[in-house]
Structure 1
């Protein structure tokens, strides 16, 4: 069985799904944010400003900045209700319609009577958005919080802004626990760029689609036809009965992770392919792949369900 990102028709398009402009707490105009991503070789961008009253509930219009070879997907980082730690929910909604009804979220603190995070996430998904649990480590998200967000398509496994700003970039622990409870989630790497520090061009998705168009990209994201990276390329992931074959750009380590402590790794120099035996993960209902290059940069497959 070949993972769908490597068997679906089309080609890979590089994009960032989490970015801010001066419409919320970023420091650059939407036009300049789009220009920089385009100049850095990205194929698409979702500009996801904070959807709160203090900023006028923006779903930033990036349509004027689309051009040949570069497109945008409308979206926002939506907020409503309190997590277990008392702080406001942060939920990524890519593909959010411009007419999405704002919550009662005047600022970055929960207020009485507003809808919950799971409720606004469900509204966003029903409106057609690709919904992701944003920066779970940075947020102090509990497992019970994560369980409650049943509308999520994905978890941010890596958030570059949180890596740079506070060394809390990780979403793997929450993602793996949810996967082990049977949640069919995908994994995204993002920038969460504000351009107030070196928080940009560090995490992205490679989406397999037949065209670089918002509707095609959004549909592929929802299907899980992508992988995530901060540098390395994944070129193939194929599961056989007792082994998993990986093709990639040059890396030093190929790891297969699964339920609980199940994991196994292959190490080497300038590996561009590896066959990983599955004895140590044979009882896991799901598997995922991480590759690590010589600079310590990673790429992540979406989970494979057996």
Structure 2
């Protein structure tokens, strides 16, 4: 069996799903943000400004910045209700329709009579968005918080801005616990770029689709036909009866992870192929793969089940 991201028709398109502009707390105009991502070789971008009253609930119209080689997905970072730590929810919604109704979220603090985070996430998903739990480590997310967002398609496993700004980059722990409870969630790497520090071009998704169009990209994201990266490319993943076979650009480590303590790594110099035996994972309800290059940059497959 070949994982769907590598067997479905089409090619991979590189994109960032979490970005800010002067419409909220970023320092560049939307047009310049799009120009820079295109110049850096990205195929698509979701501009996801903070959807709160302090910024007049922006849902940036990036359609004018699309062309034959670059497209955009409409989106926002949604806020409403308090997490267990008393702070406001941050929920990424990519593929929101224009006219999405604003919550009662005047600023970055919870207020009375507003939607909960789970309610807002469900409303965004019902409206057609790809929904992700943003920066769990930075947010101080608890497992109970994560469980409550039943509408989430994905969890941010890497947030470049949080890595650069506060060394709270990841969501792998939360992701793995949800997977072990039976949740079907994928993982994404993002920038969360504001361009106020070197928080850009550090984490992205590689989405498999037959064309670089918003509808097909969004469909592929929801289906899980993508992988995430800081640099390495994953070329193929094949499951046989007894092994996982991985093909990638030059790597120093390939890791197979599963439920609980199940993990096996192989190491080498400039590996482009690797095989990992499955005997340790027979009782694991899920698996995922991390590929690490010589510079320590990682790439991640989405979780899958045997």
TM-score category, normalised to shorter length:
over 0.9
- 1:62 maps to 62
> Which whole-Å CA distance do the structure 1 matches of 2:177 and 2:239 have between them?
22
Paired position in structure 2 for 1:209: 209
Aligned match of 2:289: 289
2:18 match:
18
Specify the alignment match of 2:190 in structure 1: 190
Give the structure 2 partner of residue 228 of structure 1. Answer: 228
Structure 2 regions of 5+ residues with no counterpart? none
Partner Cα separation in structure 1 for residue 282 and residue 229 of structure 2: 26
Residues 264, 278 of structure 1: 8 Å contact kept: no
Which aligned runs of 4 or more in structure 1 are off by greater than 2 angstroms?
A: none
* Structure-2 separation of matches of 1:72 and 1:288: 28
Q: Tell me, in whole angstroms, the C-alpha distance in 2 between the residues paired with 1:73 and 1:241.
A: 39
Q: What is the match of residue 177 of structure 2? A: 177
- Report the counterpart of residue 89 of structure 1 in structure 2: 89
Structure 1 Cα separation of the partners of residues 240 and 150 of structure 2: 31
**2:100 matched residue in structure 1:** 100
Contact 1:264/1:281 (8 A) holds in 2: no
SS in 2 for 1:106: coil
- Distance in 2 of aligned mates of 1:85 and 1:242: 44
| Pairs aligned (count) | 306
C-alpha displacement at 1:298, in angstroms?
0.1
SS of match in other structure, 1:101: coil
Post-superposition CA distance 1:158-202 (Å, at most 9, x none): 000000000000110000000000000000000000000000000
Residue 283 of structure 1: how far off its partner (Å)? 1.1
Any conservation in 2 of the 1:22–1:30 contact (CA below 8 Å)? yes
Aligned 1:15-54 pairs, distance under 5 A: 15-54=15-54
Give, in whole Å, the separation in 1 of the partners of 2:29 and 2:132: 24
Cα deviation, residue 240, structure 1? 1.3
SS in 2 for 1:305: coil
Separation of aligned partners in 2, 1:236 and 1:10 = 14
Give TM-score, length-normalised by structure 1. 1.00
Distance in 1 (CA, whole Å) between partners of 2:272 and 2:120 is 43
CA offsets 1:63-119 (integer angstroms, 9 cap, x no match): 000011000000000000000000000000000011100000000000011010000
User: How far apart, CA to CA, are the structure 1 residues paired with 2:152 and 2:199?
Assistant: 24
**Residue in structure 2 matched with residue 73 of structure 1 by the alignment:** 73
* SS of equivalent to 2:124: helix
- Distance, in Å, in 2 between the alignment partners of 1:249 and 1:280 is 26
